Structure 1
Amino acid sequence: MNIQVASASTGPKWFQLYLQTDDGVNRELLSRAKAAGYKAIVLTVDSTATGNREADARNKFVFPLPFGNLVSKGTGGDIHALNASFARKIDAKSVEFVIRESGLPVIVKGISHPDDALLAISAGASAIQISNHGGRQLDGSPATFTVLPAIAKAIDRKVPIIFDSGIRRGQDVFKALASGADVVGLGRPVYYGLALGGWKGVLSVLELINKELSMVMQLAGAQTVEDIKGSMLI
């Protein structure tokens, strides 16, 4: 799968790693990603277990079998069968392991507290990604936008901050950049575009976000992204 995705485009690609219970499997995944030409590893740290996804239960959603790059191949497509695969503890040693085994820059994704951000950086992370997994992992956890300013202050530009979860409009991008993010990630809007119109749908979503962002920048008096970062939100 790594090679198939890598061959689909010439742009830079990052591999998102869900750390497994078996380090042998983790090494194999990292080796395959590196061999396929991936330029960075995104270590997801907020998925040591599956969340209570009630929408999936209502919609009778099941995963196709087998699950793929996981220790447990699952039974019946139940998402909670994935819990047998996920590493139950992810800490500084985990970050160091991925850096050592991959030899690539590692972005730690799923950060929602300043202490965890600083821990990831001390372990060698090249960037952190503030994310609550689109709100699907732990219901009631704080919105990423709520915790962004405190994390940005703690990091003090030691490494870049990628920000996601809840971005729906260009104005959301502006607010995130003004609050300390360096890069803004989109998830659900891109999936919506893909479902409705394939790659053209995805392109349409990105173009709309950019159009809205340009509009907000004009109205806010920001000519560049760096100007946005100096904006004050009230």
Structure 2
Amino acid sequence: MAKTEHTEESLLFTRVNKATQALPISFEDWEQKAREVLPDGPFDYIAGGSGAEETLASNRTAFSKWAIVPRMLRDVSRRSLGIELFGQSWKTPVLLAPVGMQAIAHPEGELATARAAAAAGVPMVVSTVSAHSLEQIADTMGDAPRWFQLYWSNDREVCASMVKRAETAGYSAIVVTVDTVLLGWKRRDFRNGYSPLREGKGLANYISDPIFCSRLAEVNMENAVEEVLRNIYHPTLNWDDIDYLRQHTGLPILVKGILHPDDAKIAVERGVDGIIVSNHGGRQLDGAISTLDALPAIAEAVEGRIPVLLDSGVRTGADVVKALALGAAAVLIGRPFMYGLAVAGEQGVASVIDTLIQELDVSLALSGASSVEELNSRILVRV
């Protein structure tokens, strides 16, 4: 695993201070800057949750319910943030979550995000509803690590086609989102009358897919949008569909959206390779359990047989420490890098990533650990 170099206090201060002269440093500041540059529709689409946004809020308050009890007098001069997942070594336990239609935040969209992720060595999970095709994003990333997130289609052959394309383009895992059987009740979007999907912002992977295009009488935006809307919400989705997917790829398959420990047990039994504990960032079922509250029971149910990752609500290095201590193998961030993208494009995403990793390194050391592997629930107390 790659070792994180010890950073002297003066060097760290100089680096952070230089960055903050031009760009925000905290999540809250990034959000405020994004609010200033984005119209209501795109901003609320990114920032908002479903219903009364109780789940959106609980994803954050859940972290405040746990306090770190640091260990002292432990040599933390040499630290490692590295992890291994599915036979690959990564610099940090942080991934960029699959966020669709990133061009609503910045004209370069996923391409800017991809360049920043590749430069930082942080894996990017590319959304089915991206504004650029999965092949374009792969070309931008070169050999950098990336996964492909699949929104299930009621047309199974479209799913198989996209997964095969992802394999060919060098993606190393498939993430199946399972919590979007219907569209969440998003009041902000209703109020704004805003749907980037209906505006054709997330069509790139569809209109470049031969199977999907073969379903259209004529390949144009209007027909493509209607075909996507007919297929992207799938109330019949069940575990047999995951079995079908396994028949069409040899890549690791992760299911994203698991919150109940019984579903985690079934995932293991059905041969799923990994779980992402997620409530879609509070964008689907309002009133659902926060991901951090769901994590310990799921980790216990899985018993280390497959990796468990956590999505939704991660904002700081201390958040990452808490999630890893409660059983997550890695975490995903979404809104933080989207705000960075909105404010400063590739540079903004890079700054968000760099700040989070630096803060994680400091939080790890001050917790009394030299590597993320040392973190466990014994350094936490429920408050």
**Normalised by the size of structure 2, how large is the TM-score?**
0.57
Q: Secondary structure at the match of 1:8?
A: helix
How far the C-alpha of 1:40 sits from its partner, in A, is: 1.1
Match of 2:200 among 65, 81, 88: 65
Q: Write the distance in 2 (CA, Å) between the matches of 1:123 and 1:90.
A: 15
Q: Secondary structure at the match of 1:38?
A: coil
Cα displacement string for residues 200-228 of structure 1 (whole angstroms, at most 9, x for unaligned residues): 11111111112222222222211210122
Match of 1:50 among 180, 183, 194: 183
| 1:83/1:216 CA distance change after superposition, 3 Å | farther
How far the C-alpha of 1:107 sits from its partner, in A, is: 0.7
Q: Which moved more, 1:217-226 or 1:187-196?
A: 217-226
RMSD of aligned residue pairs (Cα, Å): 2.4
1:3 and 2:138 are equivalent in the alignment:
no
Q: Which residue of 1 aligns with 2:71?
A: none
How far the C-alpha of 1:230 sits from its partner, in A, is: 5.5
Q: Which residue of 1 aligns with 2:171?
A: 38
Q: Which residue of 2 aligns with 1:93?
A: 240
Q: Which residue of 2 aligns with 1:140?
A: 287
Residue identity in the other structure for 2:139: S
Q: Write the distance in 2 (CA, Å) between the matches of 1:216 and 1:183.
A: 15
The 5-angstrom pairing of residues 49-198 of structure 1 reads 49-63=182-196, 64-65=199-200, 67-68=202-203, 69=206, 82=229, 84-198=231-345
CA contact (8 A) 1:62 1:76 kept: no
How far the C-alpha of 1:62 sits from its partner, in A, is: 2.3
Q: Which moved more, 1:31-40 or 1:145-154?
A: 31-40
Q: Write the distance in 2 (CA, Å) between the matches of 1:151 and 1:206.
A: 27
CA contact (8 A) 1:50 1:82 kept: no
Q: Secondary structure at the match of 2:236?
A: coil
CA contact (8 A) 2:259 2:291 kept: yes
Q: Secondary structure at the match of 1:14?
A: strand
Residue identity in the other structure for 2:194: F
CA contact (8 A) 1:43 1:108 kept: yes
Q: Write the distance in 1 (CA, Å) between the matches of 2:270 and 2:252.
A: 12
Q: Write the distance in 1 (CA, Å) between the matches of 2:242 and 2:159.
A: 12
Give unpaired runs (5+ residues) of structure 2: 1-132, 207-211
Q: Write the distance in 2 (CA, Å) between the matches of 1:195 and 1:215.
A: 27
How far the C-alpha of 1:130 sits from its partner, in A, is: 0.4
How far the C-alpha of 1:123 sits from its partner, in A, is: 1.3
Q: Which residue of 1 aligns with 2:159?
A: 26
Cα displacement string for residues 146-170 of structure 1 (whole angstroms, at most 9, x for unaligned residues): 1100000111110111111000111
Give unpaired runs (5+ residues) of structure 1: none
| 1:178/1:66 CA distance change after superposition, 3 Å | closer
Q: Which moved more, 1:82-91 or 1:107-116?
A: 82-91
CA contact (8 A) 2:184 2:283 kept: yes
How far the C-alpha of 1:39 sits from its partner, in A, is: 1.4
Q: Write the distance in 2 (CA, Å) between the matches of 1:39 and 1:84.
A: 25
Q: Write the distance in 2 (CA, Å) between the matches of 1:74 and 1:109.
A: 29
Residue identity in the other structure for 1:134: G
| 1:173/1:77 CA distance change after superposition, 3 Å | farther
Q: Secondary structure at the match of 2:248?
A: helix
- Tell which structure's C-alpha radius of gyration is larger: 2
| 1:15/1:21 CA distance change after superposition, 3 Å | same
Cα displacement string for residues 98-147 of structure 1 (whole angstroms, at most 9, x for unaligned residues): 11112211011111011111111211111110000000001110100011
Q: Write the distance in 2 (CA, Å) between the matches of 1:76 and 1:58.
A: 26
Residue identity in the other structure for 1:8: T
How far the C-alpha of 1:37 sits from its partner, in A, is: 2.0
Q: Write the distance in 2 (CA, Å) between the matches of 1:77 and 1:50.
A: 18
Cα displacement string for residues 23-47 of structure 1 (whole angstroms, at most 9, x for unaligned residues): 1211221222222222111011111
Q: Secondary structure at the match of 1:162?
A: strand
Q: Which residue of 2 aligns with 1:202?
A: 349
Q: Write the distance in 2 (CA, Å) between the matches of 1:130 and 1:229.
A: 18
Q: Secondary structure at the match of 2:356?
A: helix
Q: Which moved more, 1:9-18 or 1:213-222?
A: 213-222
**Normalised by the size of structure 1, how large is the TM-score?**
0.91
Residue identity in the other structure for 1:13: R
